[in-house]
Every structure is written in structure tokens, then in C-alpha cells.
Amino acid sequence: MSDRDRIPELPPMAFAEAATEERLERVWKRLEGDLGAAETPGLVRSRFRRRRDVILLAPAAVVVFASGVLVDQAFRPVAAPDVVLGREPGVTRTEPAATPEPAPEPRSESPDSTERVRERRPRARSPRVAVREPPSDEPEVVVVESAEPAPQSVPPEWYRLWDEDEYQKARETIERQGGFEAALEQASADQAMALVDLARFSRENALAIAALRRVVDRYPSDPNAPIAALTLGNMLERAGDTQGAAEAFQSYRALSPEGDFAEDALARQIEVAIERRDHVRAGELLTQYEQEFPNGTRLEELRAELREAEAAAPVEPVPAPASQSSDESNASYEPPIRIPVKGDVP
């Protein structure tokens, strides 16, 4: 055996740590920039999509320009300003019946059920009211104080930016001014919903969920609360938290028993119970559905789903997660807000 036959083993400790904090931070900054620039979940858009965007850009620009001209012509002769009152928590404003409700702004985001709900929510525009000349015959505004935490007298900077659809700047402002949690702590219901928008815009679903929880838990009497509960259910279901989703759908029904989405929320609760293989609970909820919505559009479908699930697996409720506290385990299917629901099985 010659001296060339052996290469000594390379000791692991012989190697340096090339990944310094400085290098890693530099790469992260670049990545963060790319993430921020990406409008779509995929960061790098394909060449096809880029080319398609360029092709669509020209007609879109023409349409936008023409729409702008038409809108300008339509609104120029109106003497009175189109004042849109913002809705603040605990503040009720009376308006004449003739005052039209502002139409919800269309969104360009995904057309799922959550987004449809969000589209129905009128956007607060209070800062814009402040800069316009009020009409002389403006009706008297009656303000009713509530027991809920008093809203801030001056809307925070980020809220103004959000209202102007400057989402990126609003998100950056929040970070500069103490962070998302601090903003949420002081937020009114409207502002918390705006924070939900911002968190979802910046793909921070955990923060969006936290903000929705805040609306449901702290402002149950606010008109935003049912929508927040439904959106919360949708997001938790997508995140795989079926128990949290069930609670949120239950909350929606508690907050808005006659709401537009009560039937849908109950159907979703049934689906979640089936998914969790809690067939007893699913059966109870299905009975409720039959009673409350005898002509429900999903009645047959849900019956079939439950039949199929029961045939596929034995009936046994899914035990509460072991890692949760006993209090949480006992309240496995209770909504965060204890409001009785019509016909609900205790």
C-alpha cells in the first residue's frame, strides 16, 4: 500500500461556518423584497403569465381610462359632496332615508365565499369626509356612546392609508408604530377588520385570524362581528383547524341567527363534524338544519354525506386534543361567545 492509497478522513470540525448572520440577513432582505413584490402566491411569475399580462394591459388601460371619463362626467354636476360616513364602534349615526348607502367596492381577490362576504362590507371613509365642505342642510348627527372601549378620537395613520388603499404603506406604518399586535390592541371593530385586510394582503394569515378573533370576542354586538366569525371559520378550516372552524361557524349563527349565511354556517358545521368523524354531533346539527331550513338547498347533500360517513366508519366522537387544557377540552364545541342559538342542542 503506497502513501497515495489513503486520504485521511476529513474531520467535521475542520469546516468553517460559512453562513454568517450578515450573509443570511442579506439574502433574507432580498427574499423579503421578492415576497413583497409578488402579488400572487407564487413568487416568480411565469413567462407566459407575464406575456399574458402585457397583452391584457393595453385594453385594460383603455377601459380604465374610458371609465374614468364616464365617471367624471356623471359626477361633475352634482353640487352636494358625496359624503360617506364612516362607521366607528359604539357610534351610531343617523342619516336621512334618502341618503344612499355607498356601494361596496369590488375586490380583485379570490372569489371564494369569504371574499364575497367581505365585498358586502361598506368601507369606512371618514377621513375623506373631513376634507370636504359639508352641505348646509346636513342632518343633525346623533352620537350614542356604548360600553365598548372608546375608539381613538383621531384615526391612526395606518388606518388612513388603508382607507386610501395604500395597503403596503399601511402595513409598513403599523410595523413602524409598534407592530401589528399593538395596533390590534387599540383597534376599533372597523379598524380590526382593516387589520384583517392588511394581514391577508401581506399573506400573514395568523395575524388575520388573530384580528378576526378580536372582532368576534371584543365586539360581539358590532355589525362586523358576524362577518368576522364567518371569515374566521373559513380561514381556520383552510388552515386545518377544524375545531376552531366549527366554533367560528357556531359563533356566526349565534351572532346572526337570521343572517344571510346562517344556513351556510350550519352546513359548514355539519361538514366539519363529519370530517372530524363526530357523527353524533353531525346528526344533531343535521336535525337542527332540517328544522330551521326544511327547504335547505344542501339538505339532501348533507344527509347523503352523513350516511356515507357513518357507513364508512363507526360512530365515535373525536376526543378533544390532549394538549389543550381541561377547560378548553370541555368546551370543545362551544362557541367563544356564549349566546344561545335558536333550536340549538346543548
Please classify residue 255 by burial: count the beta carbons closer than 10 Å to its beta carbon, then call 0-12 exposed, 13-18 middle and 19+ buried: buried
Q: Which residues, numbered 27-56, are part of the site for other proteins (CB under 8 A)? A: 27-28, 30-32, 34-35, 41-44
Determine the Cα–Cα distance for residues 281 and 273; give it in Å rounded to an integer: 6
Using CB under 8 A, which of 193, 194, 210, 282 touches other proteins? 210
The least distance separating other proteins from the CB of residue 11, rounded to whole angstroms, comes to 7
Using CB under 8 A, which of 117, 124, 170, 209 touches other proteins? 209
327 contacts 319 by C-beta, under 8 angstroms:
no
Q: Give CA angle at 222 (211, 325), nearest 5°.
A: 50
Binding mask 183-202 for other proteins (x = CB under 8 A): -xx----------------x
Q: Which helix (H) or strand (E) holds 223?
A: none
Stretch that binds other proteins, among 116-124, 174-182, 251-259, 295-303 (CB under 8 A): 174-182
125 contacts 117 by C-beta, under 8 angstroms:
no
Should residue 205 be labelled a site residue for other proteins when binding is judged by CB under 8 A? yes
The least distance separating other proteins from the CB of residue 250, rounded to whole angstroms, comes to 16
Determine the Cα–Cα distance for residues 230 and 330; give it in Å rounded to an integer: 23
The least distance separating other proteins from the CB of residue 9, rounded to whole angstroms, comes to 8
What is the size of the binding site for other proteins (CB under 8 A)? 61
Instruction: Tell me phi and psi for residue 191, to 5 degrees.
Output: -70, -35
**Closer to other proteins by Cβ: residue 113 or 126:** 113
Among candidate residues 331, 162, 176, the one with its CA nearest the CA of residue 251: 331
Give the list of residues 6+ apart from residue 151 with CB closer than 8 angstroms, or none: 88, 89, 90, 91, 188, 191
Determine the Cα–Cα distance for residues 106 and 115; give it in Å rounded to an integer: 10
Q: Which residues, numbered 104-123, are part of the site for other proteins (CB under 8 A)? A: none
Q: Which helix (H) or strand (E) holds 324?
A: none
Q: Which residues, numbered 219-258, are part of the site for other proteins (CB under 8 A)? A: 236, 238-244
Look up residue 266 and give its DSSP letter.
H
Q: Which residues, numbered 304-323, are part of the site for other proteins (CB under 8 A)? A: 321, 323
**Closer to other proteins by Cβ: residue 15 or 75:** 15
* Segments of 259-313 assigned E as strands: none
Stretch that binds other proteins, among 17-25, 65-73, 96-104, 115-123 (CB under 8 A): 17-25
**Closer to other proteins by Cβ: residue 184 or 302:** 184
Residues found near other proteins in the complex (CB under 8 A):
1, 3-19, 23-24, 26-28, 30-32, 34-35, 41-44, 178-182, 184-185, 202-207, 209-211, 213-214, 236, 238-244, 321, 323-324
